[in-house]
Amino acid sequence: MSEITDADRRRVAELLGREPGGAYEIVVRNEHGDPVVLCNAPLLESGRPMPTRYWLVGDHERRIVGRIESDGGVRRSEAEIPAAEIEAAHKRYRLERDAAMPPDHDGPRPSAGVGGTRRGVKCLHAHYAWYLAGGDDPVGRWVAERFAAYEDRDDLPEDHHHD
The rounded mean pLDDT for the chain is 92
pLDDT in tens, 102-131: 999 999 999 899 988 888 999 999 999 999
Q: Using CA atoms, how far apart are residues 54 and 114, in angstroms rounded to an integer?
A: 8
Per-domain boundaries in the chain: 6-151
pLDDT higher than threshold 50 for residue 66: yes
pLDDT in tens, 8-41: 999 999 999 999 999 999 999 999 999 999 999 9
User: How high is the pLDDT of residue 162?
Assistant: 43
**Pairs from 108-115 (Cβ < 8 Å, separation ≥ 24):** 108/47, 108/48, 108/49, 109/42, 109/49, 110/42, 110/43, 110/49, 110/50, 110/51, 111/49, 111/51, 112/51, 113/87, 113/89, 114/89, 114/90, 114/139, 115/51, 115/52, 115/163
pLDDT higher than threshold 90 for residue 51: no
- Name the pLDDT band for 1 (thresholds 50, 70, 90): low
User: How high is the pLDDT of residue 152?
Assistant: 79
User: How high is the pLDDT of residue 57?
Assistant: 97
pLDDT in tens, 148-157: 999 877 665 5
pTM: 0.91
User: How high is the pLDDT of residue 35?
Assistant: 97
Average pLDDT of span 77-95: 96
